[in-house]
Structure formats: structure tokens, C-alpha cells
């Protein structure tokens, strides 16, 4: 079995743990690959590292598992204190796949796929931007705001949550749209069908920037737009079971019960 390991940037603890994982994998007669498709992608770090690992796994159409060395770790599943047990279970295929929908965003700058969200936000921090929202080709409303977020259920606990959006169970498929600091009369988040196609157009001479899971898709000027829809492939999250989504949200947020 071939593993690819994605580490958390310049973090020393992540690289140290990744080296340990590599030794465990080789001791169990499996292989670590530096480039080219693997059978499974391992992320070592926090949720930011996991986002990059997921994009790689989606490209290769293989499962992904995260070891949480960060703080909240909503996307990471594996216990870093049990690397040998975890790798052994992976090699034995003793795990389940939790499929998650992805997002695809397209503009004049190109196309990008993400697991969390597409963020359209202002470039000038002192000025609101004006955006026209269309859903399935039908005009919905215009926003004067700091930005708009289109998120998956996986991304509903991220930036969209901070903007007032709902937490959506990841077993569901849906598009969550949340305006950021809007000055418009309609400021409520929307939960849309996964098949809906969203177009966000700049309607005032104030540029915006588009990010897909924090990857810069480029800048849009007045009259330009970005189209967001469900991704063609699902992300395959490895899970070992044992915790419900409700329990996971409760524990990650430290809620009383």
C-alpha cells in the first residue's frame, strides 16, 4: 500500500511526526511516495493542512486521513498518540469511508475545487463591495457587504459559521450561502440544494478576490463573476467510527451536556 504524507508547512512538530509516520509505514511493509498517485493521503497538522491534503486526494480519487496537531481539528480524525495502530488498520482496510461533497468555482482566472468553501471578499478593507446573486440563472438579490461565502456542510463549521451560518451535518449534501457583514436588508444565510448553480457578479467598481479553501482564484472587477456548483468528485474521508456528528460538534466546541 502506498501512502502520501502532507505536512503542516514549516511546523517542526509536524515534520517530526511525519518522519515517525514514515518509519511506521515502512516497518509495516508499506511505502511512502513523494510524488505521483498514492492509495491513501495522510495529513499531519491542523485543518489548514487537511484542506491541502483533501485537494490532493480528490485529484487522485483516493481516501484521506488527518492526524490533528492543531487546535480545533474539525477535519482530522486520527489520534497522533496511536500511529502504529492507525497505520496497521489502514493497511488492513479496517476503516470506513465518509463521503463529503466538494465545491467547484469557475471564473475568468480558471477553476478550483474545494472541500470547505468559496469566499468572495473585498480587496479594499475600508469599502463595502456590491454583489449580485443569481441561483440557477434566476436573479435573487444584491448585497452590499464585506463578502459572500458558499460553503459545504463540511465547511459549515468554518468561516460560514463565523458569519452567522448554520452548522449542517456532513452526512447531508447542501450549499450554504452566508453574507459577511452585509448592509443589505436581507442578511440571512441560505441553505440550497446541492444541484443549484450559484453565480456571484461584481456590480460596482470595487474589486473583489475569490478564494477556494484559501487558495487564491484571482481578482474580479466590475461586470465579472464567479460560478459555484457542486464538485464532480466527492472527498473520501477515512473514519474509524465511534463518534456521532452531534458528539463531534459538542466536543470540538466544548459544549456543556
The residues with which 212 forms a beta bridge, in sequence order, are 118, 215
Q: What is the pLDDT of residues 42-81, one digit of tens each?
A: 999 888 888 989 999 999 999 999 998 866 667 777 888 8
| Burial tier of 249 (Cβ tally within 10 Å: 0-12, 13-18, 19+) | middle
Res 70: pLDDT: 65
pLDDT, tens digit, 9 for 90 and up, residues 229-253: 999 999 999 998 767 788 878 877 8
Q: What is residue 75's predicted lDDT score, i.e. its pLDDT?
A: 78
Please report the domains of the chain, with CATH numbers, ordered by start residue: 2-100+234-253 (3.40.50.10330), 103-230 (2.60.200.30)
Biggest CA–CA distance in the chain, Å, is 61
* pLDDT in the model for residue 244: 79
- Which are the catalytic amino acids? 47
Q: In 3D, which of 7, 103, 3 has the Cα closest to residue 49?
A: 7
Q: Name the pTM for this structure.
A: 0.90
Amino acid at each position: 500500500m502506498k501512502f502520501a504524507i502532507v505536512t503542516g508547512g514549516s511546523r517542526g512538530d509536524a515534520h517530526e511526526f511525519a518522519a515517525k509516520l514514515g518509519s511506521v509505514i515502512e516497518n509495516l511493509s508499506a511505502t511512502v511516495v513523494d510524488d505521483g498517485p498514492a492509495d491513501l493521503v495522510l495529513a499531519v497538522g491542523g485543518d489548514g493542512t487537511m484542506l491541502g491534503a483533501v485537494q490532493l486526494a480528490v485529484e487522485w480519487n483516493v481516501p484521506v486521513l488527518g492526524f490533528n496537531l492543531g487546535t480545533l481539528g474539525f477535519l482530522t480524525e486520527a489520534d497522533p498518540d496511536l500511529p502504529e495502530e492507525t497505520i496497521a488498520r489502514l493497511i488492513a482496510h479496517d476503516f470506513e469511508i465518509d463521503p463529503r461533497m466538494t465545491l467547484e468555482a469557475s471564473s475568468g482566472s480558471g477553476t478550483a475545487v474545494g472541500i470547505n468553501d468559496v469566499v468572495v471578499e473585498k480587496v479594499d478593507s475600508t469599502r463595502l463591495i456590491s454583489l449580485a446573486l443569481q441561483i440557477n440563472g434566476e436573479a435573487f438579490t444584491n448585497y452590499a457587504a464585506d463578502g459572500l461565502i458558499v460553503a459545504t456542510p463540511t465547511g459549515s463549521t468554518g468561516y460560514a459559521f463565523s458569519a452567522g451560518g448554520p452548522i449542517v451535518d456532513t452526512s447531508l449534501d447542501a450549499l450554504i450561502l452566508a453574507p459577511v457583514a452585509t448592509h443589505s436588508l436581507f442578511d440571512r444565510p441560505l441553505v440550497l440544494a446541492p444541484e443549484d448553480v450559484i453565480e456571484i457578479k461584481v456590480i460596482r467598481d470595487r474589486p473583489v478576490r475569490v478564494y477556494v479553501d484559501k487558495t487564491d482564484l484571482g481578482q474580479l472587477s466590475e461586470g465579472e463573476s464567479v460560478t459555484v456548483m457542486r464538485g464532480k468528485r466527492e472527498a473520501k474521508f477515512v473514519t474509524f467510527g465511534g463518534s456521532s456528528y452531534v458528539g463531534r460538534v459538542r466536543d470540538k466546541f466544548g459544549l456543556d451536556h
